[in-house]
Chains A and B, each alone.
Chain A
Amino acid sequence: NAGVTQTPKFRILKIGQSMTLQCTQDMNHNYMYWYRQDPGMGLKLIYYSVGAGITDKGEVPNGYNVSRSTTEDFPLRLELAAPSQTSVYFCASSYRFRTEAPIRGYTFGSGTRLTVV
C-alpha cells in the first residue's frame, strides 16, 4: 500500500519554464490537496479537490493550475515558473475534510523540492 506518491522528488526549473508535479494515491480517497511549505510559513493550501472533475482554489492559487480526471491522480501544473515558486510542495489526500478516529486524518506524500533559478 503506497499511500500518496509524489514525483519528482527534486527539480530545478529556469524562470519561465513550466512543469507538472505528479501526485497519485491508492487509498480511494475522494479529497486531495496541494500545499506548499516555506521556512517559517507553515503549510499553505494551493488547490484542493473533493472528487474527480471538481477542484477549488486555496489560499495561494496564483501561478498554478490543477486537474482531477480520476480519483487517484491530482497533478499540479506550474506555468511560467518564477523564483517565488521555489518551495517544497506536498500533496495530500483524505476521506473527508475532517476525519477522526479510526480514520487517521490527511495522508501526505513525501514532497517535491522545487527550485526556480
Chain B
Amino acid sequence: QQQVKQSPQSLIVQKGGISIINCAYENTAFDYFPWYQQFPGKGPALLIAIRPDVSEKKEGRFTISFNKSAKQFSLHIMDSQPGDSATYFCAASPDSGNTPLVFGKGTRLSVIA
C-alpha cells in the first residue's frame, strides 16, 4: 500500500518549545524516509532523511526518530523558532528505488513568540 499518514495537520508551538510531527506507513518495502520543508510561496526542500538501519538521526535542531517495528517515524524540532514556521512533509521510498517518493499530507507548523 503506497501511503504515508501524517499527523497533526497543523501545530502551534511556543518559541523555544519542541515541535513533533508523526508519520506512519504500512508498506514494509519502504526503507528511505525523507522530510521536506516548505516555506510560503516556495517549493518544498529536503530537510533531513533516515534509513531504517538507524533509530535516530540528528542534524542541528532537527531529529528524526524511527521505530521500525511500529512502522512509524517522527520529526522533532528542538528549540523551535519563528523561522521554523513552515509546512513539513514526510515521505517514503521503497527499497527498489524504482518509483517516486510518496508524500504525507503535510503539517503546517506555526511557532509563536
- Is there contact, CB below 8 Å, between A104 and B44? no
Q: How far is the CA of A111 from the CA of B43 in the complex (A)?
A: 6
Contact of B97 among A4, A97, A110 (CB under 8 A): A97
Number of A positions contacting B (CB below 8 A): 24
- Is there contact, CB below 8 Å, between B93 and A98? yes
- Is there contact, CB below 8 Å, between B32 and A100? yes
Interface flag for A106 (CB, 8 Å): yes
Interface flag for A74 (CB, 8 Å): no
Interface flag for B101 (CB, 8 Å): yes
- Is there contact, CB below 8 Å, between B43 and A109? yes
Contact of B103 among A42, A100, A109, A110 (CB under 8 A): A42
Known contacts A106-B46, A109-B43, A110-B42; is-contact A41 B93 (Cβ 8 Å): no
8 Å CB interface, A59-117 against B: 90, 92, 96-98, 100-101, 104-111
Which of the four size classes fits the interface of chain B? 20 to 34
- Is there contact, CB below 8 Å, between A97 and B45? no
Interface flag for A43 (CB, 8 Å): yes
Partner-A contacts on B (CB < 8 A): 6, 9, 32, 34, 36, 41-46, 49, 51, 89, 93, 97-101, 103-106
Interface flag for A40 (CB, 8 Å): yes
Partner-B contacts on A (CB < 8 A): 4, 33, 40-43, 45, 48, 58, 90, 92, 96-98, 100-101, 104-111
- Is there contact, CB below 8 Å, between A97 and B9? no
**For B6, what are the chain A residues with a Cβ–Cβ distance below 8 Å?**
42
Give B48 Cβ to nearest chain A Cβ, in Å: 10
**For A110, what are the chain B residues with a Cβ–Cβ distance below 8 Å?**
41-43
- Is there contact, CB below 8 Å, between B100 and A40? no
- Is there contact, CB below 8 Å, between B43 and A90? yes
Q: How far is the CA of A15 from the CA of B85 in the complex (A)?
A: 35
Q: How far is the CA of A96 from the CA of B45 in the complex (A)?
A: 16
**For B32, what are the chain A residues with a Cβ–Cβ distance below 8 Å?**
98, 100
**For A109, what are the chain B residues with a Cβ–Cβ distance below 8 Å?**
43
Contact of A42 among B34, B98, B105 (CB under 8 A): B105
Q: How far is the CA of A98 from the CA of B98 in the complex (A)?
A: 8
**For B45, what are the chain A residues with a Cβ–Cβ distance below 8 Å?**
105, 107-108
